[in-house]
Structure 1
Amino acid sequence: MDEYEELLNRAYSRLPEKVLRRERFEVPKVRRSYEGNKTVIHNFKDIVERLNRDQQHVYKYLVKNLGTAGIIQGSKLVLHGVFQTEEIEEVINDYLREYVICPECKSPDTHIEKEGRVSYLQCDACGARHPLRG
């Protein structure tokens, strides 16, 4: 039994720290207001930084899936049209599932790699690699 525990400890010592860490990944809640018939997401930059993704990539996904146009103004995102917080958060959660969370180990520690014309979701925790659509 001692040999088993020794081997187990040795295996754990070789794992990356990110795999051993189990903390809850939370995206900041959307802070929005309305300016006429436009919706302003005040903490867009904070959300993008927490997702660890390119601002333009998240922006394009949001406007496409909300079916609107918009513009990034500093740390804010201005969307044409009136959108409820729940609608915006649902699209952000879809983005999270599709482009951030590793399908294998469910870790948010990932990045997007482009190889030729194909983009891959590369997990920094478990090393898994999955092709992305579009």
Structure 2
Amino acid sequence: MRKDIDIPDVKGVYVAIVPEKIEGELSWYVNLINDNESSLTNVMVSSSGYLKKQNGEEIRTSVLRHMIADLPPQSYAKVESIMEDVFQLNNQFWVSYQMNGKMYDKKYIFLAESISEDNFSVIPVIGSKGVLIK
């Protein structure tokens, strides 16, 4: 039964959206951060955007899925690029992985309009500024 299932808390795994200047152009990237002392294996990241307007209209993006075989300790991986056009939406990232023989999963949501310089902080492991969800 459900009470018999051990669902461990996710600690030390974050999602950050970080801007980068590449050849003079500003690009934004979604990064998965492993701030643990153990590797993450069989990492699945599912991303989507959505918003329900006041008039009842719903906006949804396609669902994208990414696989990362191994994410070493104290490292990060660029998951996908993200366009500024979708910053007006809620951007959801569902992350599932294995660590030390246990399965973990967590949903990270960047609320609409939250991806902005007003919400920047220094991102652990990466060291540059961006928006972080723990």
Superposition TM-score, scaled by structure 2 size? 0.29
Query: By percentage of residues, which structure has more helix?
Result: 1
More strand by share: 2
Whichever of the two has the greater Rg, that structure is 1
- Higher relative CO (CA 8 A, sep ≥ 6), structure 1 or 2? 2
